[in-house]
Structure 1
Amino acid sequence: MQTLASPTVKRYPQSNVHPLKIVVIGDSIVYGFGDFEGGGWVERLRRNWMMPDSPGHVIYNLGVRGDGVLQVSQRLEQEFRNRGELRNRVPDAIALSVGVNDAARLGRTSGRYFTDFGVFQQEISQLLDRAKQLCPVYFVGMVPVDESKMPFLDCFYYNHEDQYRYKEATRLACEARNIPYLDIFDLWIERGTDWCREQMCADGLHPNSSGYQALLKDVLNWQPITQLANSSLITA
């Protein structure tokens, strides 16, 4: 069993810390489908930040299975506005993670995309622009599927070539807007096919518990998240 190293988070007396409110919006990987042990990387991070010696940052998991960029865009602002907790307050940051469903081909390996690539480029740009108007934004990229297990649900065909095309469009859109982007796809591909397959459920699309643990470790080792986690407002 893998052991997760403690994140680099400053330790403060709880009376002096104003915890951050962070919303994570996306698809089934945000929701944590497939992780019967820890509930996914967002839930694992939420529990980690609830430890007695942590600043106590609050995380809202707003992942919905099957969502693509259009669905996330439609619910972005309402989800954000409804989770400020305190009167006249809104969340401090948004983490987005979406795109893998958009890259699926329907019905056959050469079928049309769930979201046409041109439409996806427009929609992801608009989503990022709208999110940036609300608060600081972070983007966690998609995991590579297990191509040998396709199709998913006998009708959705995923492959690495299409995934790479959609994730690159997202990465470049984030780069143009100075939005931190965590390239999970490239990180995992570099670790090898066998390693990647060991992190995936039998459906080939969702990480298993080991995969979500690895994903959480990648998130915690990401400098933008480390800086965010350490940015609690400290009172005198």
Structure 2
Amino acid sequence: MGDSIAYGRCDPHGGWAARFAATHIAGNETEHRVFNLAIPGSTLIDVCEQTPPLLAARRPDTLLVAAGINDCALPLDTAQARSDGLAHIADRLASLADTAQSHNARLVVMGPTWLDETRTRDYEGLRFTLARAQALRESIRAWCVQNHIDHLDMWEPLNGRAELLVDGLHPTPEGHQALSRHLNALSG
């Protein structure tokens, strides 16, 4: 479950998630399955709403959530009504943990990737800042520690490597490859 980065936007090979799936499935073709259910633009509240009906038929043992960067975006139009997604990260993650547990699945939460604020353009009326992405990273990490939930920190593979981002936010194919290598190293 996740957003446009988890979906694989800007990579004709399906991004880090497709590479992870290929590696995971190759480890045991009979027992290993991966369903990438990411939807570009998703916030954690969207993921919370989308997840429950998708789990029953798939019977996962693990729910990997790679979302949240859209929650830290700020509207360009300050008059636009939009709640601050960062203020509700813990509530959203708790809801996902409850959903995973009710389906006998383990929740694993991926933190956000680094972004290059100097290159993130106004995207669909939203502005992404490094400070808010860092706050999101810390909020997710702290919640996972406090709640004994597995956390994958995805910041470092792209940190300071602007050439691995198409638009300051979305990884290039090479950026997705770097994320995939990092994820494979973390998952051993």
User: Do they fold alike, i.e. is TM over 0.5?
Assistant: yes
Q: CA RMSD in A?
A: 2.2
**Greater displacement, 176-185 / 69-78:** 176-185
User: 1:229: which partner in 2?
Assistant: none
**Structure 2: distance between partners of 1:147 and 1:117:** 18
State the 1:184 CA deviation: 1.2
User: 1:153: which partner in 2?
Assistant: 123
The structure with the largest helix share of the pair is: 2
State the 1:127 CA deviation: 2.2
Q: Does the CA-based 8 Å contact 2:76-2:122 persist in structure 1? A: no
Q: Does the CA-based 8 Å contact 2:158-2:175 persist in structure 1? A: no
Equivalent residues in 2 for 1:48-87, closer than 5 Å: 48-51=23-26, 54-56=27-29, 57-83=32-58
State the 1:214 CA deviation: 0.4
Q: Does the CA-based 8 Å contact 1:128-1:174 persist in structure 2? A: no
Q: Does the CA-based 8 Å contact 1:41-1:212 persist in structure 2? A: yes
**Structure 2: distance between partners of 1:115 and 1:156:** 12
Q: Secondary structure at the match of 1:34?
A: coil
Match for residue 113 of structure 2 among 120, 143, 146: 143
Unaligned ranges ≥5, structure 2: none
**Structure 1: distance between partners of 2:122 and 2:168:** 7
Match for residue 128 of structure 1 among 92, 97, 121: 97
Q: Tell me the TM-score normalised to structure 2 length.
A: 0.88
Counterpart AA for 2:40:
R
The structure with the largest strand share of the pair is: 1
**Structure 2: distance between partners of 1:206 and 1:147:** 12
User: 1:200: which partner in 2?
Assistant: 165
Aligned residues: 185
**Structure 2: distance between partners of 1:155 and 1:185:** 24
**Structure 2: distance between partners of 1:187 and 1:71:** 26
Counterpart AA for 2:2:
G
State the 1:123 CA deviation: 2.1
Structure whose CA Rg is larger: 1
Counterpart AA for 2:130:
H
Q: Does the CA-based 8 Å contact 1:96-1:138 persist in structure 2? A: yes
Equivalent residues in 2 for 1:98-109, closer than 5 Å: 98-107=67-76
The 1:137–1:149 alpha-carbon spacing in structure 2 relative to 1, beyond 3 Å, is same
**Structure 1: distance between partners of 2:96 and 2:75:** 24
Q: Find out whether 1:176 has 2:146 as its counterpart.
A: yes
The 1:170–1:113 alpha-carbon spacing in structure 2 relative to 1, beyond 3 Å, is farther
Q: Tell me the TM-score normalised to structure 1 length.
A: 0.71
State the 1:155 CA deviation: 2.4
| 1:147-168 Cα deviation digits (max 9, x unpaired) | 1113333621111110111221
**Structure 2: distance between partners of 1:205 and 1:129:** 30
**Structure 2: distance between partners of 1:180 and 1:145:** 23
Q: Does the CA-based 8 Å contact 2:2-2:66 persist in structure 1? A: yes
State the 1:60 CA deviation: 0.4
The 1:49–1:127 alpha-carbon spacing in structure 2 relative to 1, beyond 3 Å, is closer
User: 2:174: which partner in 1?
Assistant: 210
Equivalent residues in 2 for 1:36-55, closer than 5 Å: 36=12, 38-51=13-26, 54-55=27-28
Q: Does the CA-based 8 Å contact 2:62-2:106 persist in structure 1? A: yes
